[in-house]
Amino acid sequence: MGLLRHAGVAWITIGVAAATAHASPVEIFGFGPRHGALAGAGVASTDDFAALYYNPAGLALGTGESATIGVQGAFSNLSIDDRVIDLEDPAGVVLGFTAPAPLGGPLENRLRVGVALYLLPTTIARVSARFPQEPFFPWYQGRTERDVIVPGAALRVSDRITVGLAVNFLAGVVGGLEASEGAQRSLVARVDEKVPSVARVHAGIDLELTDRLRAGLVYRQRFEVPFSTLAKTEVAGEPIDLDLHASGQFTPDELAIGGAWHDRVTTISVDAQWSRWSAYPGPFVTVESELPLVGPLAASIPTVPYRDTWAGRAGVETRVGEAILRGGYAFETSPFPKTQTGVTNLLDGPKHTVGLGVGFVFERSRIDVGVQAQFVGSRRTTKTIYTGDGSDYDPFTSLRDEDSNTDGAQISNPGYPSIDSGGQVFSGGVAIEVPL
Amino acid sequence: MRSLVVLVLMSATAHADPLDLFGFGAEAAGQAGARTASATGAEAAHYDPAAVALAERPTVLVGWGAAAMRLSIDGRDADVLDAHGTSLGLAVPIHDGDWTYAGAIGLYLPDQFLARIHLIPPTEPHFVLLDNDPHRVVVEPIAAASYRGRFAIGGGASILADASSRQIVFDVGIVAGQKVGEAALDIELPVRAAPLLGVWMRPHDRVRLAATYRGQLSLDLRLDILANVQVAGVVTGDALVSIRAANYFTPARAQAGVAIDVADDLTVAADLAWQRWSAFGSGLPDLRVLVALDLTPPLVSTQNPPARFTDTIETRLGAEYRRAGDKTDLALRAGAAYLPSPVPPQTGLTSFADGDRTLLTLGAGLTFAHWQPYLTRPLSIDLAIGWQHVAPRLTKKDVTSFPGEAFSSDGEILQASLSSTIHF
């Protein structure tokens, strides 16, 4: 486990940053074009490198040694009012490697190892926390701005049961600096910022129920990239202290169950997934400060009632000659409240995903091409003005008049009086899998 | 009233690659790292990019190493963190007729953190190279091609990440008569990369030659923390804390190596490496605090003196004796290296401690070559131990230009590593 943990962390700097991101790019667009075309369905059927994400137990269902390389990217047509929102770092490289452990005797063909990577060309990860009133799509903006590194292993326990374990890696930034006037009236500082590793588990089991029917269950542990820094500076006897904490790349605890039916030419996969978004700490930054003449002050953060989400996914693969045709559909509820009458403007909606793709088999290699469209439900968010005396004010439920000495409601929140959102996100990619 | 004060402050770090210090895998560590011409497969990802294409099968290297940093300043413990971490390598060859193409990656992962920006005031005596050197991640992805096992060429990158802020803003204002703070931040870890190039050839069945080049690399920290205060009637303006720090400076390096099979069961190897430490610059990061609030701090800025490091030439020698068995092969290894210090006499502001180092190593390995049916491919387990002696150095300040106390430095580094190479 320790070695596996390290294995993934290391890849963070390969080849190869966030509006607070809430998962990973592969969770949104699929891990490679094959799984994008299947709309992410495959808990009980994925047997290639991507099994390390979808269900590590599936890794043990593969054969031989193989390497996969590909690219995938996304394009946003999401809009806030009439303004189209772009995704940052929308494209990346997909890499995968799987092989059986070189063991014989009773362990022959029982243990397989692999690594699955999604790498951005210029950055490893991005952590950002926005002002509470800033309108943005927290489900999408940032989810494509992170490397995904998942090494793992799977064991065939019996002819019908396989289990697998993978580790989801990245790194954060924590630490701080202290500075004060030195003997020569220049600042003397000590800086100690660390880049710790972050490692979370994916664990799964796959059961062969009949010759044509499989079932799978996978748990993916909550993942986030921490950022914190404490800047303690003393200038002319006055403190300038800022203690900041935020996390990005948040993925909640997830539990998914799937079934798959297959014959010699066709595989049909159906998944259901629960994601524990209610534990989401939010896309905001926590700050405690002490500033000259201002004194101690903490940033105010609204309390948002995030909700657990449910998703259903279905995918079909069928072989036609040397080609493999693929299609998929998925639906997922939104963790962000539809009604946001206060400070926040967390834009989202229920999502419908449609995927299409094709694979071409030549010799022992396979080229996969896939596209996907996600349709985000339209929402109109309307604000409410607070009319109380201030004792019961909740920034999530209403907006305050910012200047009561001026006639009318003086409100600078960009979502006031209302804001419209919705749109589509399109993605696609191509990859080749080569036997070794 | 607005006033502006700029403060510059200094601390220093200069670092190299931890795998240069301790070796990549116990097989190399046992030969003092003299593996430029003899490494193949996953191990070659660090020693010679070209030689990863010499792998016959997919190969994985898994290892763990530790070093006790017994360094002292003025006879007291210098409080340098011990190093320990995991090495991982993967080489995947694809054979196509006379040619073999390969992709590989070499990794070193310190146990305690992936990297650390650790800045100590420059006037405080500290081991500028060894204080933080061993504590960073190493990532080296490689691509290579070889022709008939006689010639190979390869390239890749040694990769690090910076830590930088696009924005860190804390706004303080008055809303409905109450003081309110709001914050936003946007941090990223952008990739930094230095080129790795290598060429390898076998001009004679018993002779292997190799040459490699690695570009310069460092990890830069750029954080700008802005507090914007708009409290009418009390204070308005802003304060900016700005950190700029370059850490883990790893100089450009050109290296050549030779390995000779002096007998069927004995190989000797030698490496020579030039490292361009003179490009280190001042090596002094700065912290700036810009205050535009209603106060006038009487502070001054400080000039950064250049570090004036000197280029170094390192020499490494290694030998390996092999004895084949019916099922298990044995290897015994030894190595020595002389690693001169790039740090000049510290007569001025800075008090960088360092010293020339002498390295002696021993190693042994077992290869379970013929253990079918339990092992379908060979599996090796290697162990190495090493001793680095840091030569004593007495530093005296030039009292005419910079009054300061003299200090002495010396020490030992005890290292051990264990690794396994698995063929798939």
Report DSSP letters for B150-186, one per residue: TEEEEEEEEEEE-EEEEEEEEEEEEETTEEEEEEEEE
The per-residue DSSP string of B2-69 comes to ----------------HHHHH-SSHHHHTTTT--TTT--GGGHHHH-GGGGGG-SS-EEEEEEEEEEE
Chain B CB contacts of A100 below 8 Å: 424
B41 exposure class (CB count in 10 Å sphere: 0-12, 13-18, 19+): buried
Residue A10: how many other CB atoms lie within 10 Å: 27
- Kindly calculate the radius of gyration of chain A based on its CA atoms and give it in whole angstroms: 24
**Cβ–Cβ of B227/A289 closer than 8 Å?**
yes
Chain B CB contacts of A436 below 8 Å: 58, 92-94
Residue A158 has pLDDT above 50, yes or no: yes
Say whether B299 sits in a helix, a strand or coil. Answer: coil
Alpha carbon distance A62, A54 (integer Å): 14
Residue B11 has pLDDT above 50, yes or no: no
A381 exposure class (CB count in 10 Å sphere: 0-12, 13-18, 19+): buried
Peptide bond into A417 cis (omega under 30): yes
Q: Measured between alpha carbons, how far is residue B295 from residues A185, B2, B4, B238, B305 in Å?
A: 16, 8, 9, 11, 30
Chain A CB contacts of B289 below 8 Å: 179, 187, 233, 235, 240
B228 or B97, which is more confident? B97
- Model pLDDT for residues A30-61, shown as the tens digit of each residue: 999 999 999 999 999 999 999 999 999 999 99
| CA angle in degrees (0–180, nearest 5) for B250-B251-B257 | 110
Chain B CB contacts of A434 below 8 Å: 94
Alpha carbon distance B251, B280 (integer Å): 7
Query: What is the rounded average pLDDT for all residues in chain A?
Result: 86
**Cβ–Cβ of B58/A18 closer than 8 Å?**
no
Determine how β-strand B83-96 pairs with β-strand B99-110: antiparallel
Q: Which of the four pLDDT bands, split at 50, 70 and 90, describes residue A13?
A: very low
Peptide bond into B373 cis (omega under 30): yes
Q: Cβ(B103)–Cβ(B92) under 8 Å?
A: yes
Residue A132 has pLDDT above 90, yes or no: no
Q: What's the average model confidence in pLDDT over B18-44? A: 92
Extract the runs of DSSP E, i.e. beta strands, from B282-343: 286-292, 312-323, 328-339
Nearest CB to B245 within list A191, A248, A390: A191
**Cβ–Cβ of B181/A231 closer than 8 Å?**
no
- Model pLDDT for residues A377-407, shown as the tens digit of each residue: 999 999 999 888 777 888 899 998 877 777 7
Tokens found for residue B50: 């070209």
Q: Cβ(A72)–Cβ(A94) under 8 Å?
A: yes
- Model pLDDT for residues A163-198, shown as the tens digit of each residue: 999 998 777 778 877 777 665 556 666 777 777 878
Determine how β-strand A223-235 pairs with β-strand A295-298: unpaired
Chain B CB contacts of A197 below 8 Å: 109, 113-114
A78 or A146, which is more confident? A78
Q: In this complex, is the C-beta atom of B221 within 8 Å of any C-beta atom belonging to chain A?
A: yes
Residue A1 has pLDDT above 50, yes or no: no
**Cβ–Cβ of B182/A193 closer than 8 Å?**
no
Q: Measured between alpha carbons, how far is residue A420 from residues A208, A213, A409 in Å?
A: 47, 45, 21
Query: What is the rounded average pLDDT for all residues in chain B?
Result: 85
B178 or A218, which is more confident? A218
- Model pLDDT for residues A73-97, shown as the tens digit of each residue: 999 999 999 899 988 878 899 999 9
Residues in chain B: 424
Which of A206-210, A235-239, B35-39, B67-71 is the least confident region? A235-239
**Cβ–Cβ of B241/A233 closer than 8 Å?**
yes
**Cβ–Cβ of B299/A233 closer than 8 Å?**
no
Which residues sit opposite A323 in a β-bridge?
A320, A360
Q: Cβ(B32)–Cβ(B70) under 8 Å?
A: no
Model pLDDT, residue B296: 55
Q: If you measure CA to CA, which chain A residue comes closest to B369?
A: A102
- Model pLDDT for residues B330-370, shown as the tens digit of each residue: 999 999 999 999 999 888 878 889 999 999 999 999 999 99
Nearest CB to B185 within list A16, A197, A285: A285
- Model pLDDT for residues B62-82, shown as the tens digit of each residue: 999 999 999 999 999 998 989
Alpha carbon distance A377, A380 (integer Å): 10
A425 or A412, which is more confident? A425
For CA atoms A353, A359, A365, A367, give the dihedral sign.
negative
- Model pLDDT for residues A327-367, shown as the tens digit of each residue: 999 999 999 999 999 999 999 999 999 999 999 998 889 99
Q: Cβ(B200)–Cβ(B49) under 8 Å?
A: no
Model pLDDT, residue B4: 31
**Cβ–Cβ of A293/B235 closer than 8 Å?**
yes
Model pLDDT, residue A213: 97
Q: What's the average model confidence in pLDDT over B275-302? A: 66
Model pLDDT, residue B12: 36
Residue A307 has pLDDT above 70, yes or no: yes
Alpha carbon distance B237, B167 (integer Å): 17
Residues B393, B399, B405, B411: what is their CA dihedral angle, to the nearest 10 degrees? -10
Residue B381 has pLDDT above 90, yes or no: yes
Q: B63 to chain A, minimum CA–CA distance in Å?
A: 9
Q: Which of the four pLDDT bands, split at 50, 70 and 90, describes residue A275?
A: very high
Alpha carbon distance B183, B165 (integer Å): 14
Q: Measured between alpha carbons, how far is residue B379 from residues A381, B265, B285, B309, B367 in Å?
A: 62, 19, 46, 43, 6
**Cβ–Cβ of B181/A289 closer than 8 Å?**
yes
Q: What is the pTM of this model?
A: 0.79
Q: What's the average model confidence in pLDDT over A255-282? A: 95
DSSP3 helix / strand / coil % (chain B, rounded to 5) = 5, 60, 35
Model pLDDT, residue A3: 39
Alpha carbon distance B242, A62 (integer Å): 52
Q: What separation, in Å, do the N-terminal and C-terminal C-alpha atoms of chain A show?
A: 26
A430 exposure class (CB count in 10 Å sphere: 0-12, 13-18, 19+): middle
Residue B160 has pLDDT above 50, yes or no: yes
Model pLDDT, residue A220: 95
Q: Is the ipTM of this complex over 0.90?
A: no
Chain B CB contacts of A192 below 8 Å: 116-119
Model pLDDT, residue B172: 82
Q: Which of the four pLDDT bands, split at 50, 70 and 90, describes residue B112?
A: confident
Model pLDDT, residue A44: 97
Q: A109 to chain B, minimum CA–CA distance in Å?
A: 10
Chain B CB contacts of A101 below 8 Å: 422, 424
Model pLDDT, residue A5: 40
